[in-house]
Chain A
């Protein structure tokens, strides 16, 4: 049985009974057991429930009962999305044993379509990081070379899909957290338009810019997942009431006659030469398919890293205030403590990156500084969006490398936060402006490390974006993961 098939292929076979769901899930669990030691994608694996659910679905298929459209597809979930009855740790000591009493909306939508939640996957603590090294449970590793980082913060999602430990995964993308691991692990990852997917049950980090995003091995799979998880949710006031769209329909329409803008700020100075060459080859491929590519300058991008980290730190410092160990969190008696001393001691268990961002957030929001930092950062957002609106009058899509650099070694950049922040330059534009962006696995470097290409479209144009991504992905011939 081939665990490396696409989710779409799995569904078409499970539906007609040529794949036994139970067998597939059992094999997947074996695979997890085999490779976890090397890649450490999972925080929690739900063996028993997964198998029981698989049996149940096989039964329904055999007896021709109504089955959800996922047909028992094993899916991993980033551990900052709430799952009723299964731990949701956010890779933090603060929530080490926290069990949410409810499912995130995206999780309940997957469950109601008979997806099997096979486990919860690793991330940088509270999704703050871009390497998955800041997990309280230790780093995940890149299946293409386990000495290297898998990207982040949804590293466990990228790794679990890439290492064939599941068919698809849900991550969250605050500044590139879906697309970075998608690029580094050679899978497809989408950051939807802000407001398209419910955030109910996503543990907030920077709530004004983050979205839940699907990750899978093909563009079609991502479209399939987006069909399930997108749409208005009465539990999230920021979701938009739009007509429902079938993102898989007409996905192979092609991009002939479309115009694509190459963002000059994202392919110039500081970008790895091999990444530049790969991007240029991607542009050629798109031209061969009938698209017209022109350079587009977005000078507001120059301010994006400063704006992004200002906003993200500020919101993080507020969002993480609730973790005080009174209502939930690890056990720690209150006796003998005064309130402030107690919570300050409890909260000293946050890891260094989270602490750093909370300090930065307190600084930029403190009295007298709001106008200098936070308000300016908010204006940069509007400025970027205005420039994007201008660009989308001329072109249908924008293109850039997803990451300006190749995956690097575990530990290499962990002590230089600013340097790490700067590697987000290509991904954060989509978060600050709210527009959708997708990372498509495109090449493997000479050193055997994946390179992803990023496409952007205007807000709520996911359907068009997925068609373009599908076309580009079809031009690639990528090797199997060498794990």
Chain B
């Protein structure tokens, strides 16, 4: 049996300032070392000042993953020398001397599979290293140093790399939904894994660039271990790095001796008391969970389970849904978003480019329901609104999308079709199941504007007369 555990680093990208100083939490696209102060650059005499909201956001993740939050949390220093650590220690949390991490012992059920969360800890991100050409000199940029980060450690409960992928997708949706992180920002979510086969040794997998590659890395490693064991060769307990170019894992070359991190309590940060009232306040601030949201969509509006699933797990689209629907048009709005809109914009960048607003969606749904627009024309209108941001009325006028539902006009068109399609008419008289072919001809002539129900009605009458 394969056992896989994960360590997920998730930046709290929704914060304004760093974990221990007032520099910007968003470090991307800034000039090197322009977002630093004595605290995050580790100057002598500087002291860490803990960000209240970072504690709250980390507590939200803990709650969302069913963890216990202790009454007192504490910080530790993890001591090791590395140029991306300006103090040569990282301020983090540690449970070896009592549970003082922000979260412990949680669990989350995904597709019937229970995944236990061992620990959630709040910590600072190191700086960023750039390697310079042939000399291999290391250039250091501390803009990222001190960015608030949550590390989520799971028990080795996964049995396949695919379960890992499903879990990570759910986790990404979850942190986005509760408003603590944008998991699709570059470097916002990073995953290390550990994997073992049967009673074999555990191998750590690090350096997986994107969290989508972790499935591939784990899969490679699983196969490697299985084939070793089949040949009776024991698996070595070690850390292996994912080689992105060659798509394989390789043993870490540096014979990194067993690290001794010499953990020590961080006395510059007092023990933080988290009162029950504070936890209650945090709970109230937490948005509805994805699971609860999905249930509400199904129960309250009768939205099909599959549509509700898609809608609830995407924070962007569920927010759009909440803003654009009412009791009456909810189902239609859900349908427009999940079948049409989603196909235009499935990535973060595309979502940001959308010119469409809740107002657009809402009036589109109403028009379809009021028979002012066919579903087909609706699709065209949506596409135009997404591109231009023009109002529905403007779009309908410019594309000539008005609905044709008066009997006379439709009768005229049907007469034309009957003349052109004699063979099909005869066929339809004999076999009523083929009537759709004629409906399609009418639709093509009207560019999809004819009301399908009226068309069918008149067609039947004419065929049987």
Give chain A's interface residues, CB within 8 Å of chain B: 81-82, 88, 90, 95, 98, 100-102, 104, 199-204, 207-208, 234-238, 314-315, 317-318, 321-322, 324, 326-328, 334-335, 339-340, 343, 362, 365-367, 370, 374-375
Q: Is the CB of B88 within 8 A of A322?
A: yes
9 contacts between A and B (CB under 8 A): A102-B45, A200-B45, A203-B45, A204-B44, A204-B268, A207-B267, A238-B267, A318-B89, A374-B264
Distance between A171 CB and nearest chain B CB, rounded to angstroms: 15
Could you tell me the distance between the alpha carbons of A335 and B132 in the complex, rounded to whole angstroms?
A: 13
Kindly state whether residue B48 has any CB partner on chain A within 8 Å.
yes
Q: Which residue on B lies nearest to A209, using beta carbons? A: B267
Kindly state whether residue B79 has any CB partner on chain A within 8 Å.
yes
Q: Is the CB of B88 within 8 A of A104?
A: no
Kindly state whether residue B8 has any CB partner on chain A within 8 Å.
no
Known: A199-B47, A237-B47, A365-B263. Is A322-B42 also a contact (CB below 8 A)?
yes
Kindly state whether residue B156 has any CB partner on chain A within 8 Å.
no
Q: Is the CB of A322 within 8 A of B87?
A: yes
Choose from B45, B47, B88 the contact partner of A324 (Cβ within 8 Å).
B88
Could you tell me the distance between the alpha carbons of A351 and B106 in the complex, rounded to whole angstroms?
A: 48
Return chain A residues, CB-CB under 8 Å to B262: 317-318, 362, 365-367
Known contacts A90-B44, A207-B268, A317-B262; 12 further A-B pairs (Cβ under 8 A):
A201-B46, A202-B45, A207-B267, A235-B49, A314-B264, A317-B79, A318-B262, A321-B79, A327-B42, A328-B43, A362-B262, A366-B262
Choose from B38, B48, B86 the contact partner of A101 (Cβ within 8 Å).
B38
Q: Which residue on B lies nearest to A95, using beta carbons? A: B44
Choose from A202, A234, A238 the contact partner of B270 (Cβ within 8 Å).
A238
Distance between A103 CB and nearest chain B CB, rounded to angstroms: 10
Could you tell me the distance between the alpha carbons of A427 and B77 in the complex, rounded to whole angstroms?
A: 28
Q: Is the CB of A237 within 8 A of B50?
A: yes
Kindly state whether residue B200 has any CB partner on chain A within 8 Å.
no
The total of chain B residues at the interface (CB under 8 A) is 33
Choose from B47, B86, B97, B138 the contact partner of A235 (Cβ within 8 Å).
B47
5 nearest A-B residue pairs (beta carbon): A208-B267, A321-B88, A365-B262, A201-B45, A203-B44
Could you tell me the distance between the alpha carbons of A237 and B87 in the complex, rounded to whole angstroms?
A: 18
Could you tell me the distance between the alpha carbons of A157 and B114 in the complex, rounded to whole angstroms?
A: 63
Could you tell me the distance between the alpha carbons of A203 and B137 in the complex, rounded to whole angstroms?
A: 30
Return chain B residues, CB-CB under 8 Å to A339: 81, 83, 138
Could you tell me the distance between the alpha carbons of A340 and B137 in the complex, rounded to whole angstroms?
A: 13
Could you tell me the distance between the alpha carbons of A130 and B269 in the complex, rounded to whole angstroms?
A: 28
Kindly state whether residue B41 has any CB partner on chain A within 8 Å.
yes
Could you tell me the distance between the alpha carbons of A322 and B81 in the complex, rounded to whole angstroms?
A: 9
Kindly state whether residue B260 has any CB partner on chain A within 8 Å.
yes
Kindly state whether residue B439 has any CB partner on chain A within 8 Å.
no
Could you tell me the distance between the alpha carbons of A104 and B44 in the complex, rounded to whole angstroms?
A: 10
Residue from B45, B46, B88, B260 with most neighbouring chain A CB atoms (10 Å):
B45
Return chain B residues, CB-CB under 8 Å to A98: 44
Q: Which residue on A lies nearest to B142, using beta carbons? A: A327
Distance between B144 CB and nearest chain A CB, rounded to angstroms: 15
Kindly state whether residue B354 has any CB partner on chain A within 8 Å.
no
Q: Is the CB of A321 within 8 A of B89?
A: yes
Known: A321-B89, A326-B140. Is A365-B97 also a contact (CB below 8 A)?
no
Residue from B42, B81, B262 with most neighbouring chain A CB atoms (10 Å):
B262
Choose from B46, B48, B87 the contact partner of A321 (Cβ within 8 Å).
B87
Known: A101-B38, A234-B49. Is A315-B43 also a contact (CB below 8 A)?
no
Contact pattern, B 75-98, Cβ under 8 Å of A = 1, otherwise 0: 001010101001111000000010
Chain B residues 27-84 with CB under 8 Å of chain A are 38, 41-50, 77, 79, 81, 83
Return chain A residues, CB-CB under 8 Å to B77: 318
Could you tell me the distance between the alpha carbons of A421 and B371 in the complex, rounded to whole angstroms?
A: 91
Return chain A residues, CB-CB under 8 Å to B49: 234-237
Q: Is the CB of B86 within 8 A of A322?
A: yes
Return chain A residues, CB-CB under 8 Å to B47: 199-200, 235-238
Known: A200-B47, A235-B47, A237-B48. Is A315-B89 also a contact (CB below 8 A)?
no
Distance between B75 CB and nearest chain A CB, rounded to angstroms: 10
Return chain A residues, CB-CB under 8 Å to B270: 237-238
Could you tell me the distance between the alpha carbons of A124 and B185 in the complex, rounded to whole angstroms?
A: 49
Return chain B residues, CB-CB under 8 Å to A82: 44-45
Return chain B residues, CB-CB under 8 Å to A207: 267-268
Return chain A residues, CB-CB under 8 Å to B41: 327
Could you tell me the distance between the alpha carbons of A318 and B263 in the complex, rounded to whole angstroms?
A: 9
Contact pattern, B 265-285, Cβ under 8 Å of A = 1, otherwise 0: 101111000000000000000
Distance between A207 CB and nearest chain B CB, rounded to angstroms: 5
Distance between A63 CB and nearest chain B CB, rounded to angstroms: 36
Q: Which residue on B lies nearest to A82, using beta carbons? A: B45
Could you tell me the distance between the alpha carbons of A367 and B260 in the complex, rounded to whole angstroms?
A: 6
Could you tell me the distance between the alpha carbons of A100 and B44 in the complex, rounded to whole angstroms?
A: 8
Q: Which residue on B lies nearest to A90, using beta carbons? A: B44
Q: Is the CB of B269 within 8 A of A237?
A: yes
Return chain B residues, CB-CB under 8 Å to A324: 81, 88
Return chain A residues, CB-CB under 8 Å to B265: 208
Could you tell me the distance between the alpha carbons of A237 and B267 in the complex, rounded to whole angstroms?
A: 10
Known: A203-B44, A236-B47, A339-B138. Is A321-B81 also a contact (CB below 8 A)?
yes
Could you tell me the distance between the alpha carbons of A333 and B260 in the complex, rounded to whole angstroms?
A: 29
Known: A102-B38, A238-B270, A317-B262. Is A340-B43 also a contact (CB below 8 A)?
no
Q: Which residue on B lies nearest to A94, using beta carbons? A: B44
Could you tell me the distance between the alpha carbons of A426 and B50 in the complex, rounded to whole angstroms?
A: 35
Q: Is the CB of B97 within 8 A of A375?
A: yes
Distance between B421 CB and nearest chain A CB, rounded to angstroms: 81
Could you tell me the distance between the alpha carbons of A279 and B198 in the complex, rounded to whole angstroms?
A: 72
Could you tell me the distance between the alpha carbons of A111 and B97 in the complex, rounded to whole angstroms?
A: 43
Q: Is the CB of A237 within 8 A of B268?
A: yes
Could you tell me the distance between the alpha carbons of A102 and B45 in the complex, rounded to whole angstroms?
A: 10
Q: Which residue on B lies nearest to A326, using beta carbons? A: B83
Return chain A residues, CB-CB under 8 Å to B135: 335
Could you tell me the distance between the alpha carbons of A203 and B47 in the complex, rounded to whole angstroms?
A: 10
Distance between B125 CB and nearest chain A CB, rounded to angstroms: 17
Return chain A residues, CB-CB under 8 Å to B269: 237
Choose from A95, A202, A237, A318 the contact partner of B264 (Cβ within 8 Å).
A318
Q: Is the CB of A327 within 8 A of B86?
A: yes
Chain B residues 417-438 with CB under 8 Å of chain A are none
Could you tell me the distance between the alpha carbons of A202 and B38 in the complex, rounded to whole angstroms?
A: 13
Distance between B254 CB and nearest chain A CB, rounded to angstroms: 10
Distance between A92 CB and nearest chain B CB, rounded to angstroms: 10
Q: Is the CB of B44 within 8 A of A322?
A: yes
Q: Which residue on B lies nearest to A101, using beta carbons? A: B38
Distance between B442 CB and nearest chain A CB, rounded to angstroms: 74
Return chain A residues, CB-CB under 8 Å to B264: 314-315, 318, 365, 374
Return chain B residues, CB-CB under 8 Å to A237: 47-50, 268-270
Contact pattern, B 118-150, Cβ under 8 Å of A = 1, otherwise 0: 000000000000000001011010000000000
Could you tell me the distance between the alpha carbons of A207 and B89 in the complex, rounded to whole angstroms?
A: 15
Could you tell me the distance between the alpha carbons of A343 and B48 in the complex, rounded to whole angstroms?
A: 24
Could you tell me the distance between the alpha carbons of A321 and B44 in the complex, rounded to whole angstroms?
A: 11
Distance between B221 CB and nearest chain A CB, rounded to angstroms: 27
Return chain A residues, CB-CB under 8 Å to B81: 321, 324, 339-340, 343
Could you tell me the distance between the alpha carbons of A53 and B262 in the complex, rounded to whole angstroms?
A: 47
Distance between A211 CB and nearest chain B CB, rounded to angstroms: 13
Residue from A101, A237, A370 with most neighbouring chain B CB atoms (10 Å):
A237
Q: Is the CB of A238 within 8 A of B268?
A: yes
Return chain A residues, CB-CB under 8 Å to B140: 326
Could you tell me the distance between the alpha carbons of A322 and B79 in the complex, rounded to whole angstroms?
A: 10
Could you tell me the distance between the alpha carbons of A236 and B21 in the complex, rounded to whole angstroms?
A: 11
Distance between B411 CB and nearest chain A CB, rounded to angstroms: 80
Distance between B44 CB and nearest chain A CB, rounded to angstroms: 4
Return chain A residues, CB-CB under 8 Å to B42: 322, 327
Distance between B19 CB and nearest chain A CB, rounded to angstroms: 12
Residue from B48, B137, B260, B264 with most neighbouring chain A CB atoms (10 Å):
B264
Could you tell me the distance between the alpha carbons of A317 and B264 in the complex, rounded to whole angstroms?
A: 10
Could you tell me the distance between the alpha carbons of A404 and B162 in the complex, rounded to whole angstroms?
A: 70
Could you tell me the distance between the alpha carbons of A374 and B46 in the complex, rounded to whole angstroms?
A: 24
Could you tell me the distance between the alpha carbons of A30 and B14 in the complex, rounded to whole angstroms?
A: 58
